[in-house]
Amino acid sequence: MPRAMIIDTDTASDDAVAILMALQHPDIDVKAITVVNGNMPVAQGSINARYTVEVCGKDVPVYDGVDAAITRDLYRAYFFHGPDGMGNMNYPAPKAPPAPGHAVEALIRVIRENPGIILVTLGPLTNVALAVLQAPDIVPLVSRCVMMGGAANCVGNITPAAEYNIWVDPEAARTVFRSGLPVEMVGWETCRGEANLTEEDMRYCKEVINTPLAHFSIDCNASALSANINWLGDPGLALPDPVAMAIAIDPTICTRASKHYVEVECDGTYTRGMTVVDELGVTKYDTANVEMWQPLVKKGEPHITVCWTIDAKRWKALLYDLIK
Ligand SMILES: [Ca+2]
């Protein structure tokens, strides 16, 4: 039986490819897509998500969610994904309207209806945080919460310390990390460098695979491609959300993972949204540390799985399979 999945997303171009991968995979049954503030306002993210569903010829409900961070000012990523989030390709408007009801309610209902479901988060954690606060009973019903977000003790992409999804709504991210959800953190560092599609990879998609889905996947990322090179100095096309989705579909694409306490810095001047990973387990040695980390420590052994490395060849092979 296909595995049930629900996807929470601030749908811009790399989210679209991640959604496409889940929709096209024969072993994944996407029950719903919930849209959150982030890269785009929810209204635009919703358009992008619904268009992607239609490109795949599927019929999956897309619910609109929270259009702001819990307490922070808005900061959208137009500079990265283009004004429409989809590389300004002038795609037609989707035919389907958003599904009736709110994304937070949909998350709670769909998780309750599908015990063991996989939750994949591709944007800021606002919707998911509100869902677990309103309905803590959903936490043990989620078998895996695969998260594109954070940067495990390394460089950020929106500030030197933080990855965008966590930085946009750090309070929400902290709520999710502390909630007990079985988070698998696929951080920014695993989604760049050799994970990027090279010029040759992109040519392979468009000229050899050469399907509508292959063209869509590369074309909608035109803005992201130039931003990745010019803003971040990283050659090639980074596709962070699809890398996380690849691991959600096939956990063995993550080649090294370990469990840790992870906290989110909400107060730091330079470190807002930093994901602080207790990589060496030092929080247990010192009274001050133990107290500071109480919200996680009192829940028992570390339960956040940090993905440290991926098999870049296999992630790309899975992508290629799903855009054929
Ligand atoms: Ca995203």
- pLDDT tens track for 23-39: 999 999 999 999 999 99
Cα of 18 from ligand 1 centre, angstroms:
9
CATH number of 140's domain: 3.90.245.10
Q: How many domains is the chain partitioned into structurally? A: 1
Residue 229: band (very low, low, confident or very high) from pLDDT cuts 50, 70, 90: confident
Rounded to the nearest angstrom, the distance between the alpha carbon of 9 and the centre of ligand 1 is 6
156-194 pLDDT tens trace:
999 999 999 999 999 999 999 999 999 999 999 999 999
Ligand 1 center to residue 227 CA distance, Å? 15
Rounded to the nearest angstrom, the distance between the alpha carbon of 122 and the centre of ligand 1 is: 4
Distance 11 CA to ligand 1 centre (A): 6
For residue 316, which of 235, 250, 256 has the smallest C-alpha distance?
250
How far is ligand 1, taken at its centre, from the CA of residue 118, in Å? 17
Q: Is the pLDDT of residue 323 over 80?
A: yes
In whole angstroms, what is the distance from residue 165 CA to residue 152 CA?
13
Look up residue 174 and give its two tokens: 């902290």
Which residues pair with residue 117 across a beta bridge? 142
pLDDT-derived band of residue 45, with 50, 70 and 90 as boundaries? very high
Q: Output the pLDDT for position 232.
A: 80
Domain that holds residue 226: 3-322
pLDDT classification of 56: cutoffs 50, 70, 90: very high
Q: What is the pLDDT of residue 284?
A: 80
Distance 300 CA to ligand 1 centre (A): 30
Q: Determine the straight-line distance between the first and last CA of the chain, rounded to whole angstroms.
A: 23
Q: Rounded to the nearest whole angstrom, what is the distance from the C-alpha of residue 290 to the centroid of ligand 1?
A: 33
Contacts of 56 by beta carbon, 8 Å cutoff, 6+ apart? 19, 20, 23, 24, 213
Q: Give residue 16 CA to ligand 1 midpoint distance, Å.
A: 8
